[in-house]
Amino acid sequence: MIAQVALVSQTTKVGLDEVSVVAAALQKQVTRDFGPIWNIHASVSAFSKLAHVPLGYWPVIVRDDIKQQGAAGFHSNKKNGQPFALVQFDTNWALTASHECLEMLADPSGNRTVASNSLKAGQGRVLYLVEVCDPSEEAKYGYTADGVLVSDFYTPHFFDPTSTSGVRYSYTGAVKAPRKVLDGGYISWYDPVSQHLFQQFVQGTKSQIVDRGAIPGGFSLREFSDRSSEMIRGKPMRNAAPKGLMQTAMVQLSAGAPKKGKSSVDKSSASWAQELETRIAELIN
């Protein structure tokens, strides 16, 4: 089965030409890098409006303000189970779009977990939430696809019980050991004994583990994890990229003025778009 991702801009700062460039970069990343490692097949296409996205696609929507108190982006699920992601516009929005796209593909439900040893001493075995970009989300760990800065991501070996020489723990090799969180990154897990969500944050040489408590009813693990860490997550993605890596702001493309004329949008797509807009408003307002 091939997942179909739609990249859409709802900000005047990003035109369709730039969306198309980033969509092509994400397609290359998914096809060449991410897909073979995670056994995932997906297409990434650019659309000018949410109402133009066909039914069944998973939208990644770039907006001026997603009101997540510092989060660059987050992904969630509609009530019908179809995922979508919101991305805050900034100069590194393509990096955020890559991050959210890969995590949505790896875990569309928001509840995928892998059992492994806890990072908290004495806690034993826990269930780690599969968020493939969080531990190395800092811009400095990214790499380019077609000149666009995209996110590093961990491999399934990230949850191995012990380190093994020659094993790749993240695509760029930045992550050197299982469950290793890098500067600016974090990781989340569920403890079945206490039934609480725990998170580890790393800033420079400092590491902090936080008990977030029980997961409220109606929240997926990912939604609760994202909301619990919204003051910290996303900031590293806005940091400067390594010298030589191109940010999307440097592409400087313009889609030009939209053409006027009668719309031929499919009614079912328009209805679905309106339903999704309502869901987004519930999340960000």
pTM: 0.82
Residue-level pLDDT at 14: 95
Check residue 282 and give its pLDDT.
Answer: 76
User: Residue 211: what pLDDT?
Assistant: 96
Return the percentage of the chain with pLDDT > 70, whole number: 80
Domain that holds residue 242: 2-284
Residue 208 pLDDT greater than 80, yes or no = yes
Ordered DSSP codes for 230-253? TTTTTHHHHSPPPTTPPPGGGT--
pLDDT at 204: 93
Q: What is the pLDDT of residue 224?
A: 81
The pLDDT tens digits of the residues spanning 165-203 come to 999 999 999 999 999 999 999 999 999 999 999 999 999
| DSSP-assigned letters across all residues of 152-170 | --B-GGGG-SS--TT--SB
Of the listed ranges 8-12, 33-37, 229-233, the one predicted with least confidence: 229-233
* Residue 143 burial (CB count, 10 A): 18
**Is the predicted pLDDT of residue 72 greater than 70, yes or no?**
no
Total structural domains within the chain:
1
Tell me, what DSSP letter sits at residue 139?
G
For the segment 50-64, the average pLDDT, to the nearest whole number, is: 94
Tell me what the mean pLDDT of segment 105-134 comes to: 94
Mean pLDDT, the chain, integer: 85
What is the C-alpha to C-alpha distance for residues 62 and 94, in angstroms, rounded to an integer? 9
For residue range 222-263, what is the model confidence (pLDDT) as tens digits? Answer: 778 877 666 565 555 556 555 444 455 444 443 344 444 444
Q: What is the mean pLDDT of residues 85-94?
A: 91
